[in-house]
């Protein structure tokens, strides 16, 4: 009886791992890593506009997953620390994500769905403050099909803009800072 129960438990665990395992992924940035920052692995940026430091930013991904409505999704996080006395704007409408498979072939672009906290897609960051934002995208493929991605994001003030590109690679062994 014990051997029979052991076989059943092993089969159930293997089945759950097979059902859950291929559906989630972790991503880590490919450069600009900030090992001093707590939380998920992030890329760190000093953002300059017109030659002036206006913000320090961190960018990360909580990975790919399947939503409760069975849509493959990915998340991108942004922490923007304003270092200026002028408001800055994070332009979620200008977010671009390029996806690649394990052969480096480009996949169809994901569809932007929301930025949180929910509000306008042009997020104003008041002077000398910090904003933490999440951006969510519906993937055109299952999460484990995505091997890497590049995210283009834009921060601007009234007269200038800075466009940055953050690269990510799948790293399913990552602990995401937990």
pLDDT, tens digit, for every residue of 70-128? 999 999 999 999 999 999 999 999 999 999 999 999 999 999 999 998 878 899 999 99
Domain segments of the chain as ranges: 25-170
Q: What is the DSSP letter of 106?
A: B
- Can you give the pTM of this predicted structure? 0.82
* CA pair distance 47, 45, nearest whole angstrom: 6
CA distance 105 to 53: 36
Q: Does the pLDDT value for residue 65 go beyond 50? A: yes
**Which CATH architecture fits 25-170?**
Sandwich (2.60)
Phi and psi at 37, nearest 5°, equal -85, 130
């Amino acid at each position: 009886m014990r051997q029979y129960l052991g076989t059943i438990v092993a089969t159930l665990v293997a089945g759950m791992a097979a059902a859950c395992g291929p559906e989630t992924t972790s991503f880590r940035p490919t450069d600009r890593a900030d090992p001093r920052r707590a939380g998920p692995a992030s890329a760190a940026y000093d953002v300059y506009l017109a030659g002036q430091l206006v913000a320090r930013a961190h960018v990360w991904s909580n990975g790919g997953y399947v939503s409760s409505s069975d849509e493959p999704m990915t998340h991108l996080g942004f922490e923007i620390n304003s270092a200026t006395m002028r408001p800055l704007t994070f332009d979620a409408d200008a977010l671009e994500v390029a996806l690649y498979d394990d052969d480096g072939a480009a996949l169809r672009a994901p569809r932007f769905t929301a930025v949180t906290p929910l509000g306008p897609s042009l997020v104003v960051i008041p002077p000398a403050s910090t904003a933490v934002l999440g951006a969510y995208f519906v993937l055109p493929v299952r999460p484990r099909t995505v091997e890497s991605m590049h995210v283009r994001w834009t921060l601007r003030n009234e007269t200038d803009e800075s466009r940055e590109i953050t690269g990510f690679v799948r790293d399913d062994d990552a602990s995401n800072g937990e």
